[in-house]
Structure 1
């Protein structure tokens, strides 16, 4: 009897040592949470095992957190110009699935082992979870653990070396290639004097409708007066307006109505700029139009910051908890604005246990529904796919009845990270018992097979992106990193150019890959 025979001690030893291994870096590359999986497999080989209930609990929490995070971007991206990147993400998973079938036949690998290789090659933990759920075989984790290290390293090396092989100036290639992204730089502020007769005696609403610029007009300066820009504010020649937006939108607005001027607005005390954090539960999921800030509160929102990115707000933009709004209003309105958005009622934690539990319950029930696929048989979404689907749908809406689905990003990461390491710890100890036997039996074929499943989708997707979609190299690499669900790859891609384009392409491809690799894992069970 050793200390590790106590399940609770075993769990925390695995988490401690595994996370320590995951933090070790070699030229900027580390295993991250997969260090927990690898160490757990070692202990599993020596007979230690974490209870299955811990693994299932971790899986449930991890999958729900991933779904809630992907939900808002998934449906928004489907309606945007990022659709081409989503198609690339889907194609990468489709190509990887076909390659997996080929590898399985050539090397005579079992379905669970082949699925594990695919999910490891794609560095997809949700795919691993779906594969374990569909096959009920811990050998999936063995395949994942063998293919994962090469999957991480190969994407990073591909991103770093392939442009050098092609001998291309990435910045020039990005500039000369037609981009599917409506590229935006950082938000700026501009003061514009109205000189056009076409604007004289027009309201702000009429001006913005005619010019169709997304720039937000926050204030109007007329002589010594400085007042809030409202939809019914009438503009006169000689007025100065303060607008916030992307440079290209500000230039469009300036050219249409007058010229840029320099004005010291700080001396005008009757209007102030203030930042508030969205925390009030009744505002989560509501749009700025529904709140009607300008008409009801004489407040204009000029910027919205979410997850480190700033956006010009639109009337249809739905608020999430933790959004930071830059507002302009009179000093006496500031207190009312803070109370409205709940800034003064900030809570240390906002994880809604009722909602999380209900989403999990609904997801598990949906996951039990059999889905008939002609020619292949029936499948279920299972404990992984069902909660993922429900979380994506509810995450998109933010709030459905009593269910609250949008938390502060740090809160969501806590759910995701805790769930992930518990799941990997359980999956690793379960798989470790058969690790050595599988490696002895299959030998080098496992490593070669995993490498093939990593390389073929990457290279094929790159040429599809260039030849079929005519994307720049940077957009192609960003989308490939998203399709391969490779965050280290994105980090390497970001170092190639001073641009947000790789991250945008990654963000558009990633949710699609995330969802379809889980679906592919279950379909391959029927095919193989």
Structure 2
């Protein structure tokens, strides 16, 4: 049985790989089991690792420290790369009120956790673990684990283990508590989900109408003889004119195109913009210009060449150089006209109208090699991790704390990855991570972290649950989950008149909880809550990561 000892009990590199892999495999298998349509997901790794730890499996201390911290770095770095591009947009354009409500939920959870520590006698590690588990937010547990290294380096391992216990105790109700609040709000206010869904869809269409096309006939005498680039007010509308027809001849629309009476213009834009353009140009024509036979084609090109990334369409001078007209830009499921303030990103899809031979030249410029996006940019990843780790090690002085705090390996890589994802193209490097590569690194990172936390805490889990304090922990975790959500739900419905479908997305997003979002989608028979979930997700994820660290720093130092 010497081989068994070498693979499972003796602390060797092979044993660490085997035990960690076993914890991850069993945990992910457990996470796929559905009960009432809900599963644990990657959170199952924590429970399988707790079980293995209870059975006596362990890792070398130094190996476990490295695997846990490196897993954490991978996880938070990829989280930052994912939410970074939408972070500022979610605050600026997609609903300040929704993000304010989500921030209120986070703040109430932090306040209840602090009160349970100060007046309820909960130890700091347990309180922080309950906060993370009760809000189903693993990154906050990861951030807190790193903060323990800073505040109590001698007892950090034990503190992280106790936090893992609290997380595991509170996690189940953290998932079902969100669903319970959704159902209670629906019952209390006698809400008709179908009616609320129709209202939300109508508001969404009004706020962000899709792009439309129209063919216009030039009938304004003041435009005669002017070029498209000279026409007063034409550029300011934000519409894109793709092609024109005069005397039966169809040609691409470029800034130097001279306007004539009776000329037909085909324009792309939002409905309200096209209405203004029709008033400016003359009148709407019944002719559908793209259907008229001619030498022009429309093609879509994927931006894959790093040389054009970071430049606007205007800077590329496509119309002047190739006599083509870019009309739409697709990014992350959205379409808009490519204005001068819109800079190209890898993976953007640009729609261009022009003659076939000219379009071939544009294709060579833009790349249009989708397989290039699958090739990982490894150098920027490790450079970003290096910069993030260095940034996390720099202390920042805050009033009221005995020593400066550090962002650490949780906050540093997170902050740097958000900044780099916003820059997208900087220093000759493309800070782009393919969604598939991002997901793989993120899942590997969080699996390593949860596996190490569970193995470290497994020996004490059963005793903690079986003791009298286990029920107290369950009640405390339930309070951290339920109270902030229920209060926010009442405020949102009574005072802010929030739509129910929108509120379900808000509640799920404020806990960064995909199972609750899935339940809301099934209940409403729509993906509408997902848009609100995505709106608040970036801010909430960052706030919860910072809250995990802040709770440790304030309560442990106090």
- Are 1:418 and 2:441 counterparts? no
Aligned to 2:102: 89
How many angstroms apart in 2 are the aligned matches of 1:313 and 1:481?
Answer: 33
Aligned to 1:479: 506
Structure 2 length as normaliser, TM-score? 0.86
How many angstroms apart in 2 are the aligned matches of 1:139 and 1:200?
Answer: 78
| RMSD, matched Cα | 2.9
**Contact 1:14 / 1:40 at 8 angstroms: preserved in 2?**
yes
Structure 2 residue corresponding to 1:437, chosen from 463, 473, 478: 463
How many angstroms apart in 2 are the aligned matches of 1:121 and 1:76?
Answer: 28
Aligned to 2:175: 152
Residue ranges of structure 1 left out of the alignment (5+ in a row): none
Aligned to 2:122: 109
Aligned to 1:143: 166
Distance 1:472 1:210, change over 3 A: farther
Aligned to 1:240: 264
Distance 1:207 1:493, change over 3 A: farther
How many angstroms apart in 1 are the aligned matches of 2:519 and 2:321?
Answer: 47
- Are 1:365 and 2:393 counterparts? no
Distance 1:248 1:410, change over 3 A: farther
Structure 2 residue corresponding to 1:428, chosen from 446, 449, 454: 454
Aligned to 2:548: 521
C-alpha distance after superposition, 1:485-516 (max 9, x if no partner): 12233333445668776333322211111111
Aligned to 2:324: 299
- Are 1:20 and 2:44 counterparts? no
Which piece of structure 1 moves more, 365-374 or 497-506?
A: 497-506
SS in 1 for 2:326: strand
Structure 1 length as normaliser, TM-score? 0.90
Which piece of structure 1 moves more, 6-15 or 450-459?
A: 6-15
Cα deviation for residue 391 of structure 1 reads: 0.7
Structure 2 residue corresponding to 1:78, chosen from 86, 91, 113: 91
Residue ranges of structure 2 left out of the alignment (5+ in a row): 10-14, 149-155
**Contact 2:185 / 2:490 at 8 angstroms: preserved in 1?**
no
How many angstroms apart in 1 are the aligned matches of 2:369 and 2:58?
Answer: 47
Cα deviation for residue 373 of structure 1 reads: 2.4
Distance 1:252 1:348, change over 3 A: closer
**Aligned pairs, number:** 528
- Are 1:58 and 2:84 counterparts? no
How many angstroms apart in 2 are the aligned matches of 1:212 and 1:457?
Answer: 46
Distance 1:345 1:153, change over 3 A: closer
SS in 2 for 1:149: helix
**Contact 1:82 / 1:181 at 8 angstroms: preserved in 2?**
no
Q: How does 1:2-17 map onto structure 2 within 5 Å?
A: 2=5, 3-5=7-9, 6-17=15-26
Cα deviation for residue 405 of structure 1 reads: 1.5
Cα deviation for residue 111 of structure 1 reads: 1.0
- Are 1:133 and 2:146 counterparts? yes
Q: How does 1:368-517 map onto structure 2 within 5 Å?
A: 368-378=393-403, 379-441=405-467, 442-467=469-494, 469-495=496-522, 502-517=529-544
Distance 1:64 1:266, change over 3 A: same
How many angstroms apart in 1 are the aligned matches of 2:197 and 2:273?
Answer: 21
How many angstroms apart in 2 are the aligned matches of 1:214 and 1:246?
Answer: 9
How many angstroms apart in 2 are the aligned matches of 1:75 and 1:93?
Answer: 19
Cα deviation for residue 205 of structure 1 reads: 4.3
- Are 1:343 and 2:368 counterparts? yes
Distance 1:329 1:523, change over 3 A: same
Q: How does 1:277-356 map onto structure 2 within 5 Å?
A: 277-344=302-369, 346-347=371-372, 349-356=374-381
- Are 1:274 and 2:299 counterparts? yes
